[in-house]
A and B are shown apart, each in its own frame.
Chain A
Amino acid sequence: MNKLNKKTKEVFNKIKISDSRSNEIMTEILDSKKKSFILKPIIISCFAIMICMIGIVYAEEIVSTFNTFRFKMNDKKGALDMYSDAIAEIDYDANIPEAERESLDKNGKYNNYYSYEDLEGLLKIKLLKSSYFGNNLLHQRTTKKVNNKIAAASFGIENFTNSNLNSQTNLPDDWKIEFFNMSFSFKTKFATEDIKENYSYSFFTGGDSQTEEYYIKNLKTSALLIFTNHSKHCIVKFDYDNISYFFDLSFFGNWDSDSTHFRVEEILETLSY
């Protein structure tokens, strides 16, 4: 045993790397760490720049990915399925009575009409406004409560342009009237499964309808535009800050298809808080 031990030690002691080669290897290992110290920040910087570039180039697509509003064209049914995942945070105890329809009060005035300021104050949320609605009031369409907490609600506002033309018998050749109707609806965390105030329904597109996706640059969000009646009627849907907006825009008079498209986009770009 001792002989084998001694022999093994003798022989294996001869198996070794030369000092110069071992120093070379050691230096290579130490340098590799230094190189990685230099390379790591460069690689991380390149990666960050790449992510930023992708973010800029595909900003619209990325934003629409995070949009709570979804839609799907169902070719077989000729329908457009739309739904929203948005859950709004509001003052759930806001003093807004449940109302199924608007009705006249004893003084002959409509109930449940609010100014933007009043409603924002009551609900503690911000709502999109447009100069095209002037100082008109928002009227309550529906409110649903669960355990006395607001679970869902819907409000609308509308306006005519050139409404004075309605009463004229001799209209000018280039007469144009626009009718704007905007409503917004929301669902809160108290909503139960049977409450679908934040739309989840199908829209039958019909024969001459044209569906487009439009990116509202001012709001950095995507909206769905459905033009019907030879582009003289347009429905717009989108979500913004967990509130679902719905526009119904009608154009009467001398409008052509291109000008209504341009007009819809122009109106959408005026929306802001």
Chain B
Amino acid sequence: MDDLFIELFKKYHNDVYRLAYGYTLNFQDAEDIMQQTFIKLYKNINKLKQDEEYTKKWLFKVASNQSKDLLKSFWKKKKTNCENFDVIISNKQNLEKEDLIQALSKIDKKYRIPFYLHYYEGYNAKEIAKIMKLSESAVKSRLTRVKDKIKKEMEII
């Protein structure tokens, strides 16, 4: 069981981390979510299908739920209100200087996640809809809008 977990962790931990970052735009929160997601995987590893693609989608679903819970939490809302966004991202200044990240940080998370899942992970609208528990049409409309928004933001930057 441990060998399978180690294999899955090594393969997918950065993907989960990126998705969590997409939600939170905070490296520390993304790391916590990634850790929580893999703890869940470790506990449920025997119940999951022996199918890597299925496991990856399962990990994204769990991370997505964990991220939403974190963003909804009282503590997180307080923290976001109190802290300056620039301070949160200051540790990874080089990365934050990337125009794409800057553009993404300026648009709502409801657009950022479909963007990441589609343009980075290569999932289609139907698959994203399952992960995010949305309708396929909602995902399609968000993907169209996010492309325009990103282009617009990057032009400004």
The chain A residues found within 8 Å of chain B, CB to CB, are 4-5, 7-9, 11-12, 14-17, 21-22, 25-26, 28-30, 32-33
Contact = CB atoms under 8 A, between A and B. Distances in A.
5 contacts: A12-B18, A12-B116, A17-B17, A26-B6, A29-B35
A4 B150 contact: yes
Interface in B1-39: 2, 5-6, 9-10, 13-14, 17-18, 21, 31, 34-35, 38-39
Contacts of A11: 95, 98, 100-101
Residue of A11, A14, A15, A33 with most chain B CB atoms under a 10 A cut-off: A15
Contacts of B38: 25-26, 29
Interface residues of B, number: 27
Nearest to A7: B100
Contacts of A28: 35
Contacts of A29: 5, 9, 35, 38-39, 42
Given A11-B100, A22-B13, A25-B35, 7 more contacts: A4-B119, A8-B100, A17-B13, A22-B10, A26-B10, A26-B13, A33-B42
Interface string B100-118: 1100000000000001100
B147 interface: yes
4 closest cross-chain pairs (CB), A and B: A8-B119, A16-B14, A11-B100, A12-B120
Nearest to A14: B95
Overall SS of chain A's interface: helix
A26 to B, nearest CB: 5
B116 to A, nearest CB: 7
Contacts of A9: 119-120
A14 B2 CA distance: 28
B14 A32 contact: no
Contact of B5 (A8, A12, A25, A30): A30
A40 to B, nearest CB: 13
A30 B13 contact: no
B150 A25 contact: no
Nearest to B101: A11
Nearest to B16: A17
A15 B34 contact: no
A16 B18 CA distance: 7
A93 B76 CA distance: 75
A109 to B, nearest CB: 77
Residue of B100, B115, B147, B150 with most chain A CB atoms under a 10 A cut-off: B100
B119 A5 contact: yes
Contact of B34 (A5, A14, A25, A30): A25
Contacts of B95: 11, 14-15
B35 A4 contact: no
Nearest to B40: A29
Contacts of B100: 7-8, 11
A225 B123 CA distance: 79
B35 A15 contact: no
A17 B98 contact: no
Nearest to B151: A4
Contacts of A26: 6, 9-10, 13, 38
A210 to B, nearest CB: 59
Contact of B31 (A4, A25, A33): A25
Contacts of A14: 95, 98
Contacts of B120: 8-9, 12
B89 to A, nearest CB: 12
A142 to B, nearest CB: 62
A11 B94 CA distance: 11
Contacts of A4: 119, 147, 150-151
A7 B119 CA distance: 9
A15 B18 contact: yes
Interface string B37-61: 0110010000000000000000000
B113 to A, nearest CB: 12
